[in-house]
Structure 1
Amino acid sequence: MNTAPTPYPIGTPGAPWGDVERSEWLSQQPRQRSYESEVLSAIERLRSRFDVELYGRLDYGPDSYPLMAIRSRDWRDDLPVVLITGGVHGYETSGVHGALRFIDQHAAEYAGRVNLLVAPCVSPWAYERIHRWNANAVDPNRSFHHGSPAEESAALMRLVAPVCDRALMHIDLHETTDTDETEFRPALAARDGKPFEPGEIPDGFYLVDDSENPQPEFQQAVIEAVEQVTHIAPADNKGEIFGSPVATRGVIQYPLTQLGLCASITRAPYKTTTEVYPDSPRSTAEQCNAAQAAAVCAAIGYALAHR
């Protein structure tokens, strides 16, 4: 027998949150890990090989977070730009550490071929709270547009603006987790005063292409590389992955600009959003980080070969 989902514990069903509900939600978001020791320290170790820059700062109450980017040291204006972003959703751990792994272990292979610009942890407050939203209960990955309500998103757009037209490829590193279904989607429905519609978390890696400029061969090149590291999510019995029709194996499509998604912030011909599944019994944290790095390498390789 089907039962109705348990109402989210904050707010009144059917009524969007106001300031009281947002404050209640914020009071329930304790710091669970350290941006400074887990991310900034790793970035600091890269200074001997790459240029590291401060591109903004987040201030939430007593907490202040420097926003850091990493650039190729051999930056040349005649080379195309590759943008790599991670941690737009702070709880998606392998997005952050996969980006850092790529820089540490693979970036040197592209010296003199591309300019790398990497923002490994776009949402450090959310990284520490293992959450999807920022401290204002705003999703940065729906906020990449003019007049953004998320400073995380606005700061990244300012960083990228000078190279927007020169970008060859942008890969945005994400995860789809079991907590998407148990916490984050129910919280979203409650925040917006809408009913929660249960879904099905895909078991495996998949990609999100741009429905406004699909690049199926590019996406499949990434899928084939990642398959050597971790398994690819199959379509469900509706031919969908996480509620969206499968376009090609392991790939769905979203209108990136319309939704204000991070992967829309440049005019790069090649764009993709990775979705790793860290909760699978068939995957380890090491595999998830390695899958993200493999996706970046394959994406750059394809883009360079087809520019």
Structure 2
Amino acid sequence: MNMAPAFYPIGTPGIPWGDAERAEWLSRQSHQRSYESEVLSVIENLRSRFDVEEYGHLDYGSEGYPLMAIRSRDWRDDLPVVLITGGVHGYETSGVQGALQFVDRHAEDYAGRVNLLVAPCVSPWAYERIHRWNPHAVDPNRSFRPDSAAEESAALMRLVAPISDCVLMHMDLHETTDTDESEFRPALSARDGKPFEPCEIPDGFYLVDDSEKPHSEFQQAVVEAVEKVTHIAPADNNGEILGSPMTARGVIRYPLKQLGLCASITSARYRTTTEVYPDSPRATPEQCNAAQVAAVCAGIDYALAHQ
């Protein structure tokens, strides 16, 4: 497991970043993979079977990124809506690839039973740079608020707003990685001028339920399905995962709306955030994608059986 640096290399400990520090951080980011070839081309190949739409466009300097969503072809107003989001944090690869894999291999199994809306890569700039933030050093997954500071988040909220009250289930696909501890959490502490407090990265899959509207049976159904694909994260010696008490096996709870998290953007009865652990020696990239797909399918099956 990667160890966190004693001091983050940008800024002065205890002092929040200003424009100069953010500019220095941005100058260190570089392309590491292609949104065009790994995401857009896959979506393009799905056009013959699903409706595809551009729901927004990011303009960052000389670069532009279309924000794409995939819908059920035969959308019916009398059916419940299932919302799947991935890539809110661009570095969390299986969230993006798992969402695309679900659409390709399983979405048509639910035709005539639900309307599917899938936004597989909410943060394409960060996807290309394998990063958590957008170029303004803003975390989109703390920005799902009416006055959002992240256009990635604002665009998704605009897309979802017309059907928010019709959503039966929303699953937001994420990963927890070793780089959370070695890079992203130290960067957050440096950006905000706060001390860095190390945490133990959990080895395995877990879910984040909504502490304001918990649904334990739904969460457990998802965990049980995923366990057939990859291992479930145990609690640490304090009975916690990343500082939060484990409320059931493989489940913790956050106040989703209070934190501005993606899973809070609808009034869905069933909502959760998946967390896959891709750095485990016990999990391959294929297993990570499969875990996301298993979670989505189990979640939809449970939601349909318990409407």
SS in 2 for 1:186: helix
| 1:157, distance to aligned residue in structure 2 (A) | 0.1
Cα separation, 1, equivalents of 2:226 and 2:242: 19
Which residue of structure 2 aligns with residue 47 of structure 1? 47
Q: Which amino acid aligns with 1:213?
A: K
Cα separation, 1, equivalents of 2:212 and 2:277: 26
| 1:196, distance to aligned residue in structure 2 (A) | 0.3
The answer on 1:188 being equivalent to 2:192 is no
| 1:4, distance to aligned residue in structure 2 (A) | 9.7
Cα separation, 1, equivalents of 2:153 and 2:5: 32
Which residue of structure 2 aligns with residue 35 of structure 1? 35
In the TM superposition, what whole-angstrom CA distance separates every residue of 1:128-163 from its partner, at most 9, and x where no partner exists?
000000000000000000110000000000000000
Which residue of structure 1 aligns with residue 68 of structure 2? 68
In the TM superposition, what whole-angstrom CA distance separates every residue of 1:248-303 from its partner, at most 9, and x where no partner exists?
00000000000000000000010000000000000000000000000000000000
Within 5 Å, give how 1:247-258 maps onto structure 2: 247-258=247-258
SS in 2 for 1:272: strand
Which residue of structure 2 aligns with residue 122 of structure 1? 122
In the TM superposition, what whole-angstrom CA distance separates every residue of 1:51-98 from its partner, at most 9, and x where no partner exists?
000000001101100000000001000000000000000000000000
Give the count of matched residue pairs: 305
Which residue of structure 1 aligns with residue 199 of structure 2? 199
Cα separation, 2, equivalents of 1:216 and 1:80: 21
With over 3 angstroms needed to count, the CA separation of the structure-2 counterparts of 1:304 and 1:6, relative to structure 1, is same
Instruction: Determine if contact 1:5/1:196 at 8 Å carries over to the other structure.
Output: no
Which residue of structure 2 aligns with residue 214 of structure 1? 214
Instruction: Determine if contact 2:97/2:120 at 8 Å carries over to the other structure.
Output: yes
Cα separation, 1, equivalents of 2:164 and 2:57: 21
In the TM superposition, what whole-angstrom CA distance separates every residue of 1:185-227 from its partner, at most 9, and x where no partner exists?
0000000000000110000000000000000000000000000
Identity %: 81
Instruction: Determine if contact 1:125/1:134 at 8 Å carries over to the other structure.
Output: yes
When the two chains are superposed, the root-mean-square deviation of aligned CA atoms in Å is 0.9
Which residue of structure 1 aligns with residue 82 of structure 2? 82
TM-score (normalizing by structure 1): 0.99
Unaligned runs of 5+ in 2: none
Cα separation, 1, equivalents of 2:47 and 2:16: 45
Cα separation, 1, equivalents of 2:274 and 2:24: 32
Instruction: Determine if contact 1:143/1:260 at 8 Å carries over to the other structure.
Output: yes
| 1:243, distance to aligned residue in structure 2 (A) | 1.2
Which residue of structure 2 aligns with residue 226 of structure 1? 226
Which residue of structure 2 aligns with residue 274 of structure 1? 274
The answer on 1:103 being equivalent to 2:103 is yes
The answer on 1:57 being equivalent to 2:57 is yes
| 1:242, distance to aligned residue in structure 2 (A) | 1.3
TM-score (normalizing by structure 2): 0.99
Which residue of structure 2 aligns with residue 286 of structure 1? 286
| 1:5, distance to aligned residue in structure 2 (A) | 5.0
Cα separation, 2, equivalents of 1:278 and 1:152: 24
